[in-house]
Amino acid sequence: MERKQNKMKLHKDCKIELAASKEDSRYVLTEPYLDMSKDPVLVATSGAAIAVIPVEVCAEDIPGHVGVDALKLMRKSKRDQAVLTKDWIDVEGVGRVLRSDLGKFPNWRAVVPDKDREVTFAVGLNIKMLWELCQAIGCETARLEFKDNLEGVLVKPTSVHSPHYASKPCANENAYGVIMPTRLS
């Protein structure tokens, strides 16, 4: 009799590793982390941004870092699934990857805003369009100015110089753009 088993599952379009730190000195943040302390989530952070994706897990899955190689194997798999043991990440029919032990992942929940907080207004933006607009006005980082959730959003180039993230200087500090909000359902 075949035993049906749910394994850790992540949608192919979720490339959570892009939110992980690129700095070798912040090694504990360089790979996403499976957190099962509450509802199971895969979380990645650079220190400036956090991505949190709910995932399905099985009883055999063990919390810990999930390396980029394992995520790539999962995307090659027809089922987007893996079993996470203490030492290995097994992707059914595709392969097995040694699991990293990068140390204790930080308390990421401490910096996530409360989901029930009062929201003044919400704006939907097409991020691909925003990125293309930023490239058009010559910046990697931008200041977004909102009047409300219906009017166009003024986009002004800026440069960031922080210990955890730095952008190259904007090409023209007087350039600007406008992006229209998208409808929120």
> Tell me, what's the pLDDT at 1?
34
Q: Does an H or E element contain 127, and which?
A: helix 127-136
pLDDT per residue rounded down to tens, the chain (185 residues): 343 455 788 888 889 999 999 988 999 999 999 999 999 999 999 988 999 999 988 888 899 999 999 998 888 887 777 888 889 988 878 889 999 899 999 999 999 999 899 988 889 999 999 999 999 999 998 999 999 888 899 999 987 766 666 678 888 989 999 999 988 77
> Tell me, what's the pLDDT at 62?
92
> Token pair for residue 130?
């925003």
Cα separation, 69 vs 66, whole angstroms: 8
Fold of 8-111: DNA Polymerase III; Chain A, domain 2 (3.10.150)
> Tell me, what's the pLDDT at 48?
84
Cα separation, 146 vs 121, whole angstroms: 10
> Tell me, what's the pLDDT at 165?
63
Could you give phi then psi for residue 47, rounded to 5 degrees?
Answer: 100, -20
Characterize 124-161 residue by residue with b for buried, 16 or more Cβ atoms within 10 angstroms of its Cβ, and e for exposed.
eeeeeebeebbeebebbebeeeeeeeeeebebbbeebe
> Tell me, what's the pLDDT at 3?
38
Q: In the chain, which residues fall in CATH 3.10.150.10?
A: 8-111
> Tell me, what's the pLDDT at 30?
95
> Tell me, what's the pLDDT at 162?
64
Question: Cβ of 54: how many Cβ atoms within 10 Å?
Answer: 10
> Tell me, what's the pLDDT at 18?
93
Measuring CA to CA, how many Å separate 157 from each of 73, 138, 143, 160, 175? 38, 7, 6, 10, 7
Q: Of 108, 109, 32, 126, nearest to 72 (Cα)?
A: 32
Characterize 86-123 residue by residue with b for buried, 16 or more Cβ atoms within 10 angstroms of its Cβ, and e for exposed.
eeebbbbebebbebbebeebeebeeeeeeeeeeeeeee
Q: pTM for this structure?
A: 0.81
> Token pair for residue 183?
């409808």
